Amino acid sequence: MELGEARRRIRDHANLHAFISLSAETGSGAVVAVKDLVDVAGMITTAGGIILPETPAGDDAAVIKRIRSHGCVVVGKANLHEFAYGVTSVNPHYGSVLNPHDTSRVAGGSSGGSAVAVATAMCDWAIGSDTGGSIRIPSSLCGVVGFKPALGSIDTTGVIPLAHSLDTLGPMARDVATAAAAYSMMSGESLALEPARSPRLGVPAGWVAGLDDETQRSWDLVSAGVPEVDFPGREELYNIGLTILLVEAAEYHRQWATRFPEKYGADVLGHIRRGLEMPPLNAEYFRAWTRMRENAQRAMDGIDALILPATAIVAPLVDAGTEVREPLTRFTRPFNATGQPVVSLPAPVSGLPVGIQVVGRTNSVAMSVAAWLEREWRDKPP
C-alpha cells in the first residue's frame, strides 16, 4: 500500500475515529498504524487520554525501531480506549471508535483504532497491545486477525503500561500470513506456518457457555467434532488476570487519579479506584501465578492448540454499558494469566464478525494452526 492511498482512506473514513494523529512520514515500505500507547519519534503519545505531556516523543519505542529496520513507515497513531483500560474504545476525548461493519456498534477495545484501520485498509497492518484481550477483542468484533504472542516476546520499552506484568504487544492484519510477517518484524522471531500434519485441537472442558445467538451459530460450525480436554478453570485464571491488572494499573495511575480525577473518563476512573482499594500483590501471589502458568502448559500435552470463541457476544451497541465487559473478556483474559500465545481468527460466517481464538504451545504453533484453520475455512460457505 502507498502512504498516499492510506491517508486518503483515513480521510474517507474519518467518521470511524480510528486515528488520534497522523504522521508526516515518507517512504515506500509497509504502512503501519501504531496504537497511541507506543512512542513514535516526533509524535505526541496520548495513550488515549489528556493527562500525558503534549510533548513529541524524542525517540522511537523499541518495537518501532525494529519495524523501521525492515523499511516500515508509520502512517499515524491509532485511537484506543482511554489508557488501554477498557474493551469498547468508546473514548470521551478523541471520539468513539466505530465498527466498520455497523457504525451503531463499537469496534472493541482497547486496540479499537488499530482493528478498524486494518479492517478498512487504512494500513497494511497495525500494532496493538493486549493486557486482558485488547488485541483479540477488537480483532474479533471487526473481522481481522489479531495475535497476542507469548508473554515477553516483544520488547515493551517506550510503551505506556497498563499492567506491566501482563502487557503484550502484537500485530493485527487482514490475514494470518501478514500477521506472522508483522510479528517477525516486531520481535525478530521467525515463524513457520506449514504444519507437518493436521493439528490436534481441543476445547477446554466446561469453558464455552453463555454465547449470544450469532456467536453460538459460528461456534457450532467451527467446533464440530473437536473434543473437550482438561484445562485449568476459566474463572480462576480470569480472576488472577483481573487482580493483577487492577492492582498494577491503579499503582501506575495513583497520583494522577488522586490529583486530576476530572481528566479521566468515568469508566476508567472507576476501574482505577477499584484497584486502589485492593491490597498490594505479594511474592506468594506471584508464585501461585507461576504455578498456574506451569499447569496450563502441562495441560497442552497431547494437543497442538485449543480453540474457543474470542468473545461471548458480537459487537455491542455504542451506548452499551459496563455489562458488556465480562462477556467481551470472558475467554480472552484467562490467557493473559497463562501467558500463552493466542491468535484471534475470523470465523467463516456472514453478518457481524465472530472471532475464534487459537491458543498454542508456542508462537510458531499458534500461528501455524491458525494458518491451517484459515485455509480450511476459506472454502466453507457462510
Residue 332, pLDDT > 60, answer yes
110 catalytic residue (yes or no): yes
Residue 251 pLDDT:
98
Residue 230, pLDDT > 70, answer yes
Query: For 159, what's the count of Cα atoms within 13 Å in the CB-facing half-sphere?
Result: 25
Residues 321 and 147: their CA atoms lie apart, in Å, by: 27
69 catalytic residue (yes or no): no
pLDDT digits (tens, 9 = 90+) for 85-119: 999 999 999 999 999 999 999 999 999 999 999 99
Helices (H), ranges, the chain = 3-12, 62-68, 112-119, 136-142, 176-187, 213-223, 234-259, 266-276, 283-299, 325-329, 333-338, 363-378
Domains in the chain: ranges and CATH: 1-382 (3.90.1300.10)
Residue 382 pLDDT:
56
Residue 196 pLDDT:
62
- Is residue 283 very low, low, confident or very high in pLDDT (cuts 50, 70, 90)? very high
Preceding peptide of 110 cis, ω within 30°: yes
Catalytic residue among 23, 89, 96, 110: 110
Residue 380 pLDDT:
66
CB 60 within 8 A of CB 107: no
pLDDT digits (tens, 9 = 90+) for 177-214: 999 999 999 999 999 887 667 999 999 999 999 999 99
The conformation of residue 317, written as its DSSP 8-state character, comes to B
165 catalytic residue (yes or no): no
Residue 79 pLDDT:
99
Catalytic residue among 23, 35, 129, 140: 35
229 forms beta bridges with 204
Residue 222, pLDDT > 90, answer yes
pLDDT digits (tens, 9 = 90+) for 10-24: 999 999 999 999 999
By the 10 Å C-beta count (0-12 exposed, 13-18 middle, 19+ buried), 41 is classed as middle
Q: Within the chain, how many helices (H) and strands (E) appear?
A: 12, 13
State the pairing for strand pair 73-78/19-22: antiparallel
Residues 129 and 114: their CA atoms lie apart, in Å, by: 10
Q: What is the pTM of this model?
A: 0.97
| Cell numbers that stand for 5 in this block | 492511498
Catalytic residue among 111, 134, 139, 218: 134
Residue 347, pLDDT > 90, answer yes
Largest CA distance in the chain: 58
pLDDT digits (tens, 9 = 90+) for 355-382: 999 999 999 999 999 999 999 998 765 5
**Of 144, 151, 113, 157, nearest in space to 130 by CA:** 151
By the 10 Å C-beta count (0-12 exposed, 13-18 middle, 19+ buried), 106 is classed as buried
